[in-house]
Structure 1
Amino acid sequence: MTELGSCAPHRRDDDSTAPGTEHGGAPARSVGIVIIGRNEGQRLVDCLASVASAHAPTVYVDSGSTDGSVAAAQGGGTAIVRLDMSRPFTAARARNAGFRELIGIYPDLDFVQFVDGDCVLDPRWIGAAVDFLNSRPDVALVFGRRREMHPDASIFNAMCDEEWNAPVGQALECGGDTLIRGDAFKAVQGFSDTLIAGEEPDLCVRLRTNGWSIWRLDAEMTRHDANITRFSQWWRRSVRAGHAFAEVSRRHAGSEFGIWKPSLVRAVVWGGLPIVAVAAALLWHPVFVMLLGLLPLQVIRLGLRRPEGAKERWAHAFFSVLGKFPEFQGVARFYASLLRKGDRTIIEYK
């Protein structure tokens, strides 16, 4: 983690827009926006257009894009931060850099909205989120409904859309799009720069440890373009999830506010089952191969738990079980990195 609010902010290029330029009117000085991205192309253009209606000071943090994203972000009052390429890129590092830049320009901001560059912000969201936080001083951050733009494009997009639909009310964790109190963010020193995934739930654990609450509002927030159309993309994303389960649960293992232990156990039990079954069959008795039969039974169990007639009912169940294998791979990758005592590299899926 880095000290937030005390480090000198990253400065933009000399030819970028001056600090404080307005988005079509006076900036909403109580709220600032941080967008992060890497090679998002048209998605970033759409994201920037969507936040303009908030008339809020905006910072875009670029993580080494080579597709012209920085040029697309220039103009319109958006400050631009280019991350130092000599250090590994992480979403956590990008968001922290954006926050530092934002409060360096507007030190009196009350709230910061984080948005991923492949998302489009709902124009009603910030108003609803700020109203809620103003009425609930015990809540540090809020998030709403993130939806996939193209859930029907692939089963993987559909699964993402379902994943985003967290229950309304008090929550244990959030995703990348969230509106947070600036003071609360600074008090816990922001995101952990070293986490390559799971930085948002890690932040939530530390906020809850400090007595804050996390809330999911019944309001539209963002539309996300996962664009996961290939099996290999889905596999890498699942590897990243397993890595996050292992690292974040280990980091907070001794805390009553710890998170993701059940997810870690499921990844290890189901993902490691074939290894155990085959090893036991070779070492002791062939009957242990029958343990593999638990996998299709789990698919059936999960499929039957879904609502009757639910779209792609069995595909969801199948990939939920299959996903435990790449998750297990991610868990193994994390613990292998601990043994090597080496740096962990970001796991990209698109």
Structure 2
Amino acid sequence: MEYPFVSVVAGIRNEEKFIEECIESLLLLDYPEESYEIIIVDGMSTDKTRDLVQKYPVRLILNEKKNVAAARNLGVEHSHGDFVAFTDGDCKVDPLWLKTLVNEMKNAPDDVACVGGPNLIFDTDPVFGRVVGHAQETFLGSGGSAQSNNSTRKHYVGSLPNCNAMYKKNIIKEAGYFDERFVVGQDGDLNYRINKIGYKFLYIPEAKVLHHRRGTLKSFSVRMFKYGMWMAELFKKHGEFVRWYAFLPSIAIVFAVFSLIVSPIYPAPILVLLALTTLYFILVFVTSIQVIYKMKSKYGLFALLVIPVQHVTYGLGFLYSFANSLFLSKDKSISDV
């Protein structure tokens, strides 16, 4: 096997808890050490992250803009390889990760821009994080997206999460790099643009990355709200839905509010709402059984809470983004007058 030179990029900020585990897994890759480089792009961490990174034979670049999109762009700009592989500071890569990605890219058709694999869960993570991770592996939790679904078969997908992906560098440049306006969802935006210019994404189940799940119900809710906001921003940027299911939680929230308002006069909508809500919670219950099976633990029942919280906060974030844009446009119109 020939070993092309690959630049491995991790954009990080305040990752003192996990960054050593991440870097050590990258240093132990089953890949010739002269054929890859490790670039750590730090978003001006305020903890001990940079001190820890400097202990290792890796390149450290400072990212004054702090966000992940800027980190990835800096990584691409400073990379020496024709291929750029991305992971995150709270990830641990499998020893065969890079070799698997390179081999699959070499054997893939020319129109494949990116190969990547699953976003797996640490069994040692806190219970809440594991519930979230396993819930998002289900159809109800992820809509079947490669970001969370973790399929066991190789196939083409619409997008790949950048905690586990390797790109042809020239195609990142052709697509216009990562959009640094996006605090989250920047990989989805880039991948959408890459698709639009005719390239494909290939999911490889053997290219494994473990990804720590952290947080509490509060932090999870905030994160889902932000995802909803930025999915709306993607819609406004491109004029169409990047993911087919993105608008469903928002429609459900609007319909629920409408039904409650008109119920004293028109009872039909509230009856429809009750029927749909019943069906929804049946699906949530079935999904929680799936999570119990995946976790082999009764704590999978927490999915009964996690999934509705995910959908509601995501939907509210989506609506907030559009409402915010509406108010801003009104303010602009008034100021123009």
Report TM bin, short chain: 0.7 to 0.9
TM-score, normalization by structure 1: 0.77
3-state SS of paired residue (2:293): coil
Deviations 1:45-90 (A, max 9, x none): 1111111124321111111211111111114321212222xx4x32
Q: What's the counterpart of residue 36 of structure 1?
A: 11
- In structure 2, do the counterparts of structure 1 residues 292 and 93 end up closer, same or farther at CA, with 3 Å as the change threshold? farther
Equivalent position to 1:132, from 75, 97, 104: 104
Match of 1:183 among 145, 170, 189: 170
TM-score when normalising by structure 2:
0.80
Q: Which residue is 1:52 aligned to? A: 27
Structure 2 residue 204 is matched with structure 1 residue 217 = yes
Task: Identify if the C-alpha distance between structure 1 residues 339 and 269 changes in structure 2 by more than 3 Å, giving closer, same or farther.
Answer: closer
**Do 2:72 and 2:178's aligned partners in 1 also have CA atoms closer than 8 Å?**
yes
Q: After the TM superposition, which of the residue ranges 43-52 and 302-311 deviates more from structure 2? A: 302-311
**Residue 69 (1) aligns with residue 49 (2):** yes
Number of paired residues?
Answer: 301
Q: Report the structure, 1 or 2, having the larger helix content.
A: 2
In structure 1, stretches of 5+ residues that fail to align are 1-27, 343-350
Q: Give the distance between the partners of 1:207 and 1:151, measured in 2 at CA.
A: 36
Q: Quick one: which amino acid aligns to residue 161 of structure 2?
A: G
Q: Distance in 1 between matches of 2:37 and 2:317?
A: 38
Match of 2:333 in 1: none
Question: In structure 2, what is the Cα distance between the partners aligned to 1:151 and 1:297?
Answer: 34
Tell me the secondary structure at the aligned position of residue 120 of structure 1: strand
The CA deviation string for residues 285-337 of structure 1, in whole angstroms up to 9 with x for no partner, is 56755535632431113434665973566543553233221012211232234
Contact 2:101–2:207 (CA under 8 A) maintained in structure 1: no
Offset from partner CA, 1:84-119 (integer Å, 9 cap, x none): 2xx4x32111111122122xxx2xx12111111110
| Aligned with residue 185 of structure 2, among 185, 198, 202 | 198
Query: Which of residues 339, 342, 346 in structure 1 aligns to 2:326?
Result: 339
Output the aligned Cα RMSD.
Answer: 2.6
Closer, same or farther: CA 35–195 of 1 in aligned 2, 3 Å: same
Distance 2:67 2:239 in 1: 23
Instruction: Letter of the 2:281 partner, please give it.
Output: V
1:170 corresponds to which of 156, 175, 178: 156
2:143 corresponds to 1:157: no
Hey, what's the Cα distance between the residues in 2 that align with 1:295 and 1:333?
Answer: 23
My pick for the range that moved more, 180-189 or 153-162, is 153-162
